[in-house]
Amino acid sequence: MTNFRESITIREADEAEQEAVRSVMLEAYGQYADLFPAEVWKKYQDEIGNSVSGKGAIARLVAEIDGTIIGSVQLYPSAEAAYGRTDMGIISPVIRFLCVSPLARGRGVAAALIEEVVKRSLAIGAADLYLHTVDMMASAIRLYERMGFERAYEKEFHNGLHLVKCYRLSLPQAKRVEAAELIVLIRPEVGI
């Protein structure tokens, strides 16, 4: 019998799936709605929803089982692309909006998404991979630490409500690829 993790497919999101991805994201992040003031939550909800079709991501990945999307993640080339911030000095890939449907949690979906992001970051020659999170996302933080991410205190900031913690994964075996190969690795549908 195939285990759950083996049946997960990680792939680039199709443009036609934007609504399904948005739905999974909002469902996954919905657990935090009561922890924010209503106006802040509405703004965050809008940011989550808009990210599905926004500019700047070099990869929008989904996890699926039997044709059903159960998770997603976005990869940006820098903090400027991810957050519109140049002050952080992060010019390495940044993970954003990692999420898993509540019905599929605890089965390795998030880890599989991160593993694919790591592969893609290595493929473009990145030496580091970053992400930001807050304390309320404690189970995600435990996963990041198990996967080797370490705090990058110098890249943290306050968003008015919370300390936004930064985690970095060093990618020591990073390799360089030619620009033409990079396009195919990040956006295989483009081709050459």
CATH classification of the domain holding 15: 3.40.630.30
Rounded to whole angstroms, how far apart are CA atoms 45 and 97? 11
**According to the model, what pLDDT value does residue 25 have?**
96
pLDDT at residue 52 tops 90: yes
Structural domain includes residue 192: no
Q: What is the pLDDT of residues 75-93, one digit of tens each?
A: 999 999 999 988 999 999 9
**Residue 190's pLDDT band (cuts 50, 70, 90):** very low
**Average pLDDT score over residue span 61-79:** 96
Rounded to two decimals, the pTM is 0.85
What is the per-residue burial (b if ≥16 Cβ within 10 Å, else e) of 58-95? bbbbbbbeeeebbbbbbbbbbbbbbbeeeebebebbbb
Residue 160 structure tokens: 């008015």
Structural domain includes residue 48: yes
Summary mean pLDDT of the chain: 87
**According to the model, what pLDDT value does residue 5 have?**
64
- The total domain count for the chain is 1
- Which of 47, 27, 45, 26 shows the shortest CA–CA distance to 37? 45
Report the relative pairing of strands 128-133 and 163-170 from DSSP bridges: antiparallel
Mean pLDDT is lowest, of 42-51, 70-79, 112-121, 176-185, for: 176-185
Q: In 3-state terms, what secondary structure has residue 111? A: helix
**Average pLDDT score over residue span 54-71:** 95
Structural domain includes residue 191: no
Domain span at residue 108 reads 5-186
User: In this structure, which amino acid lies at residue 75?
Assistant: L
Structural domain includes residue 162: yes
